[in-house]
Amino acid sequence: MNVYLISGSSFRLINEKVNDIVKNSKNVVTFDLTNNTMEEIIVEAGYFSLFNEEKYIIVKNADFFGSGKVNEKNTEILLKYLENPNSLSILIFITNEKLDMRKKITKYIKDKYTLITIDNLKSYEIEAKVKDIFKKHNLQIGDESIKYIVTNSLNNYDLVIGEVEKILLYYEDNSVVSFNDLTRIVAKSINTNNFLFVDAVTKGDLSESLSLLNDLKTMKVEPTILISLIARSFRYMYNIKVLQNEGVREYEMMRRLNLLDWQLNKYLKDAFIYKIAELESILKKLAKLDLDIKSGKIDKFIGLELFILDISA
């Protein structure tokens, strides 16, 4: 099959599935529907290689297959291409949204091509994957240590692999992973809650943001640290939107902003709901909040709560 539609909430699981399809091909082109048009994608798909080589075209943030708005013109362009696709072009559409099977275009992909829904892994499945990773790197690790990594990352596969990558950098091959070392290397759950809190704030999820903030308050987390983390995320989003307007490609964005592929993809997706002026306004509000807190004009947590309510309104 030369057209795939992949849906899932985990960036890493999606990347693993894409890598399984692409294998070791060097002929890969990536588009992002927050920055590219369907016309550009179809034109690329229609090109024939001089050497009859297969070409893989990855289309990120194809959210119109799910809850995203449907552009009828884009739908018709894609449907027309899918009726007679280039046999040497393999299209891979990716979305983190839940698929809407009521939509004509989604149903068409399901009926004629390959639709892949990636469910979140159970804790025991994540543990098995982690064990395989350490085995491939000739590292010995106990079951207790693996459970510690998974539990401390809230059973989130993306977070788990991030921690595993840090551990792999710490040890040489043929080593034994010490549980005591893990407690120093692996981020504590408080850091994970920080990540989830910032993610909820940037997505405008008011209920989740306030709930996590309450948990962090109980853990006695310093609000100024949270403000700094929030500002960093919005700053990345602002810079990415500016670069998009300048026509800068993704690989160049990663280089300029020193981001990994999955990080850029996340910020691109989060920034989609904002305009540049809105992001600029939010950054100014964060700077004022930070100043007001440090000068004693407002209570730290009350100020942060008011900020969340303001930008989520």
pLDDT tens digits, residue range 202-217?
Answer: 988 898 899 888 878 8
Check residue 150 and give its pLDDT. Answer: 87
Please state the rounded mean pLDDT for residues 62-69: 85
> For residue 156, what pLDDT band results from cuts at 50, 70 and 90?
confident
Per-residue confidence at 29, pLDDT binned at 50, 70, 90? very high
Sign of the CA dihedral running 94, 100, 101, 107: negative
Q: What is the average per-residue pLDDT within 138-150?
A: 91
Mention every residue, 6+ apart, whose C-beta is less than 8 A from residue 197: 209, 212, 213, 216, 226
Say whether pLDDT at 253 is over 80: yes
Whether the CB-CB separation of 3 and 82 falls below 8 Å is answered with yes
N residues, the chain: 313
pTM over 0.85: no
CATH class, 123-187 region = mainly alpha
Per-residue pLDDT, 41: 95
| Class of CATH domain 3-118 | alpha beta
> Residues 260-306: pLDDT tens digits?
888 888 899 899 999 999 999 999 999 999 888 888 889 888 999 99
CA distance 280 to 144: 46
CATH code for the part of the protein at 191-312: 1.20.272.10
Domain spans in the chain, listed from the N-terminal domain onward: 3-118, 123-187, 191-312
Q: Which of 31-35, 124-128, 216-220 has the highest mean pLDDT?
A: 124-128
Indicate the pLDDT class of residue 188, thresholds 50, 70 and 90.
low
pLDDT at 221: 80
Q: How many helices (H) and strands (E) does the chain have?
A: 15, 5
- Which alpha helices (H) appear in 29-142, and where do they start and end? 38-46, 72-83, 104-112, 123-136
Pairing of strands 28-32, 3-8: unpaired
Mean pLDDT over the full length of the chain: 89
Per-residue pLDDT at 159 exceeds 90: no
Q: What is the radius of gyration, based on Cα positions, of the chain?
A: 22
Residue of 29, 69, 65 whose CA lies nearest to 49: 29
Look up residue 308 and give its DSSP letter: H
The neighbour count for residue 158, using CB atoms within 10 Å, is 16
Residue 180: CB atoms within 10 Å: 8
CA distance 249 to 115: 28
Band of pLDDT at residue 85, cut at 50, 70 and 90 = very high
Please report, as a single letter, which amino acid is at residue 4.
Y
